[in-house]
Structure 1
Amino acid sequence: MHTDAEHALTAFFDQLQVEVRASEHTINSYRRDIRQLTRYCTDKAIDRWIDLTQSDIRAHIAGRHRQGIGSKSLQRELSAIRSFYNFLLKNRLADNNPAQYVKAPKQSRKLPKTLDVDQVNGLLEAGADSVLEIRDLAMFELFYSSGLRLSELAALNLTDIDLPDRSLIVRAGKGGKSRLLPIGRKAVDSLENWLAQRLKMAIAAEPALFISSRGTRLGQRGIQLRLAQWCKKKGIAEHLHPHMLRHSFASHLLESSQDLRAVQELLGHSNISTTQIYTHLDFQHLSEIYDKAHPRARKKSD
């Protein structure tokens, strides 16, 4: 790429970091996505961003699709490219956004995997045998109680929870949005047990709610590993990841309340269409009950 094109790219990421204050995860994702576009430009001997056309963007996305990249990832790549070109337009470094009307190939929407209520109870009532398991149980209870994302739970500080009020605040959810969430009674009890142990472990001035054995904040990967270890030790055959507890929270709450807007607020979804996927899960559950119970729906026995 031409030197000016490289300078524009640097300025874009500086703006994301300083002005937009995007998360490190978002910036790293954008870097990977724009890097793929840069490779396309190199292959096609395109030196300047202004020379890219809508046909080029379509060809680039089609090529990525042929490599086996899924629709969701391609949508994210297009979003990154559009954001970059909007930056170029704003700074008069381009005269159009070639990605504006390009769409990723459609892909069937997969329903998120959830646990039923008995499975959740089995997971959370397995009992804690050590200080670290007391912490783990508090984390898992909070996932299911409040429908947190993994990143949101890992980022929680002591000042973000109010146990007397049975509430917590997510200060920087997806899109930088904050939201106030309730904490269920079981999660409150588990958190009280953990906080009594945390006092003995935390290093001075550590703000994190959940800390490692070293006394510092427990990271996202550490939380994932602890859930896998918990399942293995407790003899739970199901392969679980933290987001399954969030999905289960949403599915069970919607099944009981039928209040889609409330579930949307609790999950922190900016678009209700994202929340509506849980209505499909609820219908799927009802369909299974119908197939088993309705006398004109049951299959004939052989």
Structure 2
Amino acid sequence: MQINPSELLTMWLKEREVQNQSPHTLHAYTRDVSDFLKFCDERKLQLADVESTDLREYLAHKVEYQQLSPGSLQRLLSAIRQFMKWAEEGGYLAFNPADDFKLKRQSRPLPGMIDIETVNQILDQAEPEAEIPKQMWYRDKAILELLYSSGLRLAEVQGLKIGDIDFNRQLLRITGKGNKTRIVPFGSKAKDAVMNWLKVYPLWNGDFVKTAHIFITQKGNPLGARQIENRVKYQALRAGVNVDLHPHLLRHCFASHMLSGSRDLRAVQEMLGHSNLSTTQIYTHVDFDHLAQVYDQAHPRAQLHKKT
């Protein structure tokens, strides 16, 4: 006995309810799947006859008439896929056309970008004259230099310990995502900034042991993530730079400027601590003029029109 789609939807939602799905989720499922079933009914399309081309038409219709975002389309497709998977497993459908249907993944938004001159304006600003603000600047400058010099994440610079720095070889031992450790270099200006800060460090009750945090408050406590973010923003404002500066933006600038100067994507990947090269490509700006030049020089069919 064939069951109409509305009854199937009711049965599916009851099972979801038994599985303690939240009312908000159930409401979203009801709205999204009902809308698709209405689309099928208007086109006299039986649920058992739905193909991937019908799904593509439905989603295109949503984009054209409702200007749905890629995220909303993914949500719609997820609800339809789960419903039809349940119907297939229950024997109500011979196959699930949504199972292998995929939308192009929504690209991750890139953070803003600031040029080298602007970064230098922030890092090379004059130190304050008053003693305590000057000490704070030494600490903040060390943070800024390491963020830009080595492309550290906020949590990585926050968790940096005394024993993680090798001043002789100018290397940092970084504990990143997934508790993975990597070794990254840091520049001479970053080295000078950290050493200047460490002269202040004992005045703030800093403890020169390997396990002690490098960046601390005036009371000697480890500096928190929000505190670091606020100090980074403050130093950009003090330098007269009209930009919403944050640690990740400096990390992004590090990657972009390094890639522009070196053309070595895998080296930048290693320093950023990315497990996949595709992630590094997302976080960096690609020099398309350089890519075109490389292509023209290297690809066997790029210059077939030229005489040899």
Q: TM-score range by the shorter chain?
A: 0.5 to 0.7
Which deviations, in whole Å up to 9, do the C-alpha atoms of 1:118-162 show, x marking residues without a partner?
111111001222101110000000000000000110010111111
Partner of 2:155: 151
Q: Which runs of 5+ in 2 are unaligned?
A: 1-11, 34-65, 79-98, 129-133, 293-308
Aligned residues of 1:157 and 1:209 also touching (Cα < 8 A):
yes
**Shift in Å, 1:70:** 8.0
- Runs of 4+ aligned structure 1 residues displaced above 2 Å come to 41-49, 58-63, 68-72, 100-112, 202-206, 277-287
Name the stretch that deviates more: 258-267 or 200-209.
200-209
Aligned residues of 1:154 and 1:210 also touching (Cα < 8 A):
yes
DSSP 3-state at the match of 1:46:
helix
What is the CA RMSD across the aligned residues, in angstroms? Answer: 3.9
Is residue 46 from structure 1 mapped to residue 14 from structure 2 by the alignment? no
Partner of 2:212: 207
Structure 1 counterpart of 2:179, one-letter code: G
DSSP 3-state at the match of 1:145:
helix
Distance in 2 between the 1:176 and 1:277 partners?
22
Count of aligned pairs between the two proteins: 215
Aligned residues of 1:134 and 1:194 also touching (Cα < 8 A):
yes
- Distance change in 2, residues 1:183/1:60 (3 Å): farther
DSSP 3-state at the match of 2:287:
helix
Question: Which of 175, 190, 193 pairs up with 1:190?
Answer: 193
Question: Which of 254, 268, 271 pairs up with 2:273?
Answer: 268
What's the TM-score once normalised by structure 2's chain length?
Answer: 0.60
Question: Which of 172, 175, 179 pairs up with 2:178?
Answer: 175
Aligned residues of 1:227 and 1:241 also touching (Cα < 8 A):
yes
Partner of 1:291: none
Aligned residues of 2:161 and 2:212 also touching (Cα < 8 A):
yes
What's the TM-score once normalised by structure 1's chain length?
Answer: 0.61
- Distance change in 2, residues 1:195/1:70 (3 Å): farther
Distance in 2 between the 1:187 and 1:60 partners?
56
Partner of 1:113: 112
Partner of 2:235: 230
- Flag the structure with larger Rg: 2
- Distance change in 2, residues 1:174/1:43 (3 Å): farther
Aligned residues of 1:251 and 1:282 also touching (Cα < 8 A):
no
Distance in 1 between the 2:30 and 2:137 partners?
48
